[in-house]
Chains A and B, each alone.
Chain A
């Protein structure tokens, strides 16, 4: 695949932005500044970036409890995401949703979701809507290896297949659902093999390789846009941090330090950096510039979030129903 240099650098920058954002979130949470539950995307950046770089702004994604990476990859504004994590009025959900519910309908982000696998049928519905409205938009569902064992996965994928909907189902197989390893929860090694039973194409790809993800999902997106129906893509990846921020050493009850270390060595960002450097696309100087640019952006995001007002308590009563403007 011959790709435009700027596109490759943008991919690299986007992955790094996700990584650095998540590291900030972790730090702010552990310092007691951010309330609530947060699930970090660290280690899985190549999946969100590889997939969303095939999408247009008007395409849809449905995200998960581990959603920050998807949102940033699809073009979510880190300032407004950060403000939401702080519980501020200026956040994407005006402080009502927090980490697990961030949405930006204007750029096709149909929301992070606290209920595992729940976005699968919702994304199916968005794909149906695109088809009924006669557009060539596509809809992408992200879900985990754990989510693939919920009934909603089966119902959602089956219907998309029967109705030939422009949907792409991205299984982020990071090998664990909290403490439960994939091998304890499914008797087949590759979740993509299930595609056969729905009569759709299924692919398993190295989710630590952003270009591999980009290429395979590019084909899936093209098929969807041409009206040829959905695809199931399984990206084998790994979560570098605990299931949620604050899990601490409990993760050692289900995975060993050796396993963690071995998998962390396959860092998707490092790997991509090497590739780009080897190809002469990325220089140390350019890498440093991208790095500084992201640091500045994140500093500004935190400043924006900190200086933003909290909602007033009574705001809790607003937004239950859409009110027609009078």
Chain B
């Protein structure tokens, strides 16, 4: 299979869908001729023009609100917010409007809206440009959330998201945009809410997503050389959560850690962890472990950020401590 970057795979998904359906349009800050701050839309403006690839003023609440208004009146917008941190400025639209309209209207309005959100720390960008806020959206019924970890998944999941008649947030770690991976040419979709077993193992299950998944896979390889077999699961979606895959794995390995770059308290790990205890308590030989960023804003200095975010060494040490 040919290899392309994560950013290219995402653009391919959007471009192919836009070719097929002229109800789809794209909007956000600097997504037009500039091609997106991280190249998230490179080449789309040249293909589809101003009407379908729209640069907006700096107005995050309007970006999401306009997306919602267009979605419930017959269009299929894909909107982009430059960093998840900036979604804070659009929280009313997302939490009070986008997530609830279908339900509050008694099922009478469809919301085919995709919100694409680059995010992620380890870029030395400090407290307001490094956050991992995904758990907030997990705590907001009515939103589907995907967190693709590689080029193959971002293409397949974005296509599904664009065809969905429900709001989907696609959280894309900025440090993944340049990674390369095999991606089929042409059309394929991947289901939202399906986790992937990335590596099989019998000793312990490690559940992760997005950038941290890559750290977990690298740790699994190191532990393999030490005779420890780690089963690594990529959640792929945070809502719905594919607990079936996770629980089946835990029943096999009897030990589980959840690893994420978001801070510990109230994070995805807490939700996944409690669901594991509810479904497989009798199978657990050790308490469910969460390996997460420390509970502080993300600091700037590399020495500080590397202490806050789980490193491979920390993940490795914590996993060994469970055995």
> Are A314 and B307 touching (Cβ within 8 A)?
yes
> Are A95 and B89 touching (Cβ within 8 A)?
no
- Tell me which of A36, A100, A113 has the highest count of chain B C-beta atoms within 10 A of its own C-beta: A36
- Tell me which of A84, A150, A254 has the highest count of chain B C-beta atoms within 10 A of its own C-beta: A150
> Are B89 and A151 touching (Cβ within 8 A)?
yes
Smallest beta-carbon distance B50→chain A, Å: 10
> Are A320 and B296 touching (Cβ within 8 A)?
yes
Q: What residues of chain A lie closer than 8 Å to B126, measured between beta carbons?
A: 36, 96-98, 100-101, 114
Q: What residues of chain A lie closer than 8 Å to B61, measured between beta carbons?
A: 151
- A93–B304 Cα distance when bound, in Å, is 12
Interface size class of B (residues with CB under 8 A): 35 or more
> Contact flags (1/0) for A246-274 with B, using CB distance below 8 Å?
00001001100000000000000000000
> Are A98 and B124 touching (Cβ within 8 A)?
yes
Q: State which of A95, A151, A179, A250 has its C-beta within 8 Å of the C-beta of B304.
A: A95
- A177–B56 Cα distance when bound, in Å, is 11
Stretch from A10-18, A53-61, A180-188, A278-286 contacting the other chain: A180-188
Q: Count how many pairs of residues, one from A and one from B, have CB atoms less than 8 Å apart in the complex.
A: 134
- At the interface, yes or no: A105 with Cβ under 8 Å from chain B? no
Stretch from B26-34, B194-202, B237-245, B275-283 contacting the other chain: B26-34
- A146–B30 Cα distance when bound, in Å, is 11
- Tell me which of B301, B304, B306 has the highest count of chain A C-beta atoms within 10 A of its own C-beta: B301
> Are B302 and A87 touching (Cβ within 8 A)?
yes
- A173–B66 Cα distance when bound, in Å, is 26
- A310–B305 Cα distance when bound, in Å, is 12
> Are A185 and B57 touching (Cβ within 8 A)?
yes
> Are A96 and B34 touching (Cβ within 8 A)?
no
- At the interface, yes or no: A311 with Cβ under 8 Å from chain B? yes
User: Of residues 226 to 263 in A, which have CB atoms within 8 Å of B's CB atoms?
Assistant: 250, 253-254
> Are A36 and B300 touching (Cβ within 8 A)?
yes
- A320–B296 Cα distance when bound, in Å, is 7
Q: State which of B29, B129, B305 has its C-beta within 8 Å of the C-beta of A177.
A: B29
> Contact flags (1/0) for A185-217 with B, using CB distance below 8 Å?
110000000000000000000000000000000
Q: Given A96-B301, A96-B304, A101-B128, are A317 and B294 neighbors across the interface (CB < 8 Å)?
A: yes
Label chain B's interface by main secondary structure.
Answer: loop
> Are A178 and B34 touching (Cβ within 8 A)?
yes
Q: What residues of chain A lie closer than 8 Å to B15, measured between beta carbons?
A: none
Smallest beta-carbon distance B295→chain A, Å: 8
> Are B304 and A180 touching (Cβ within 8 A)?
no
Q: Write the chain B residue with the least CB distance to A318.
A: B296
Q: What residues of chain A lie closer than 8 Å to B35, measured between beta carbons?
A: 253
Q: Given A250-B34, A253-B33, A317-B294, are A35 and B302 neighbors across the interface (CB < 8 Å)?
A: yes
Q: State which of A152, A254, A313 has its C-beta within 8 Å of the C-beta of B306.
A: A313
> Are B59 and A150 touching (Cβ within 8 A)?
yes
Q: What residues of chain B lie closer than 8 Å to A149, measured between beta carbons?
A: 57-59
Q: State which of A96, A152, A179 has its C-beta within 8 Å of the C-beta of B30.
A: A179
- A180–B86 Cα distance when bound, in Å, is 17
> Are A146 and B57 touching (Cβ within 8 A)?
yes
> Are B306 and A114 touching (Cβ within 8 A)?
no
User: Of residues 46 to 64 in B, which have CB atoms within 8 Å of A's CB atoms?
Assistant: 55-61
Q: State which of A150, A177, A315 has its C-beta within 8 Å of the C-beta of B89.
A: A150
Q: Given A147-B58, A151-B89, A316-B304, are A115 and B128 neighbors across the interface (CB < 8 Å)?
A: yes
- At the interface, yes or no: B151 with Cβ under 8 Å from chain A? no
Q: What residues of chain B lie closer than 8 Å to A152, measured between beta carbons?
A: 89
> Are A87 and B127 touching (Cβ within 8 A)?
no
Q: Given A149-B58, A151-B59, are A178 and B30 neighbors across the interface (CB < 8 Å)?
A: yes
Q: Write the chain B residue with the least CB distance to A86.
A: B301
- A20–B303 Cα distance when bound, in Å, is 28
> Are A316 and B34 touching (Cβ within 8 A)?
no
> Are B296 and A88 touching (Cβ within 8 A)?
no
- At the interface, yes or no: B125 with Cβ under 8 Å from chain A? yes
> Contact flags (1/0) for A284-312 with B, using CB distance below 8 Å?
00000000000000000000000000111
Q: Write the chain B residue with the least CB distance to A319.
A: B296
- At the interface, yes or no: A51 with Cβ under 8 Å from chain B? no
- At the interface, yes or no: A23 with Cβ under 8 Å from chain B? no
- Tell me which of B56, B300, B307 has the highest count of chain A C-beta atoms within 10 A of its own C-beta: B300
- At the interface, yes or no: A162 with Cβ under 8 Å from chain B? no
Q: What residues of chain B lie closer than 8 Å to A117, measured between beta carbons?
A: 58
- At the interface, yes or no: A30 with Cβ under 8 Å from chain B? no
> Are B303 and A178 touching (Cβ within 8 A)?
no
- At the interface, yes or no: B308 with Cβ under 8 Å from chain A? yes
> Are A97 and B33 touching (Cβ within 8 A)?
no
Q: Write the chain B residue with the least CB distance to A179.
A: B34
Q: What residues of chain B lie closer than 8 Å to A316, measured between beta carbons?
A: 294, 296, 299, 304-305, 307-308
- A16–B58 Cα distance when bound, in Å, is 31
Residues in B lying within 8 Å of A, measured CB to CB: 29-30, 32-35, 37, 55-61, 85-86, 88-89, 123-129, 294-297, 299-308
Q: A179-B55, A185-B56, A316-B305 are in contact. List 15 more A-B contacts (CB 8 A).
A: A36-B300, A37-B123, A37-B129, A97-B126, A115-B86, A150-B60, A180-B30, A180-B34, A186-B57, A253-B34, A313-B304, A313-B306, A314-B307, A316-B299, A317-B296
Residues in A lying within 8 Å of B, measured CB to CB: 35-37, 84, 87-88, 93, 95-98, 100-101, 113-117, 146-147, 149-152, 177-180, 184-186, 250, 253-254, 310-317, 320
| 15 A-B pairs whose Cβ atoms sit less than 8 Å apart in the complex | A93-B300, A97-B126, A100-B125, A100-B129, A101-B127, A114-B128, A146-B58, A179-B32, A180-B34, A180-B58, A185-B56, A185-B58, A253-B33, A253-B35, A310-B303
